[in-house]
Amino acid sequence: MVQAASSWDELKKILLEGTASPVVPRYKALFSVRQSAPSPHEAVAILSSALPLQEDSVLLRHEVPCSGSSHRLFPQSFP
């Protein structure tokens, strides 16, 4: 079993490093955001900031908006 990033700060660092971080840790961090974010609003904010940095991976550019903008994942983020 693969271990996810251990803290919110580590997840943010991995996602905001963009292509300086390997794709696999960024992908794991992406799917750990929902459980680790202090609030749904912070999760959406970090995913929005990370999206333009995922230049090398079409899959990550697809998954970031799907993870951060889904009404099912973050119902509190939408009025």
Helix or strand or coil: residue 3?
A: coil
The pLDDT value recorded for residue 10 is: 94
Q: What is the pLDDT of residues 30-73, one digit of tens each?
A: 889 888 989 888 888 888 888 888 888 888 877 777 765 555 55
Phi-psi region for residue 40, left (φ > 0), alpha (ψ -120 to 50) or beta? alpha
Between CA 33 and CA 20 the distance in angstroms is: 19
